[in-house]
Amino acid sequence: MFCKKCGKEIFDDAVVCPHCGTMTGSGNVIFGGAEEKQGNGIAIAGFICSFFVPLLGWVFGGIGLSRANKRNGKGKNFSIAALAIASVMFIIYLAGV
Ligand SMILES: [Zn+2]
């Protein structure tokens, strides 16, 4: 599509014209999508870390959970799993020491 203000060609799903910064009013596909992926990524990172480093699992799981709550719950299951596994692993580590 073309920007309604400056007339330059921009991505069809762009939220803001990269040339002049005008809002296109076409939704929030680019920004929303990127943030959803980020929220998912950190939740999955927490899920993986929780097996090896419970502390990181808690940190990433907590961040992932707060992000998931803001983004339609994406990555929420991974975040909760990360927190749960991190807690279990922490207890196992404590019991093993
Ligand atoms: Zn423009």
Taking the model in full, what pTM does it have?
0.55
Does residue 13 form part of some domain?
Answer: no
Q: Where are the beta strands (DSSP E) in 15-95?
A: none
Domain extent, residue 70, equals: 38-96
Cα separation, 69 vs 75, whole angstroms: 9
Does residue 73 form part of some domain?
Answer: yes
Cα separation, 24 vs 6, whole angstroms: 11
Which residue type, as a one-letter code, is found at position 27?
Answer: G
CA 51 to ligand 1 center in whole angstroms = 48
Does residue 24 form part of some domain?
Answer: no
The per-residue pLDDT for range 16-58, each reduced to its tens digit, is 888 898 888 755 444 444 444 444 688 888 899 999 899 999 9
Report yes or no: 64 and 85 within 8 Å, Cβ to Cβ.
Answer: no
CA 27 to ligand 1 center in whole angstroms = 16
Does residue 63 form part of some domain?
Answer: yes
CA 25 to ligand 1 center in whole angstroms = 12
Report yes or no: 17 and 49 within 8 Å, Cβ to Cβ.
Answer: no
Does residue 28 form part of some domain?
Answer: no
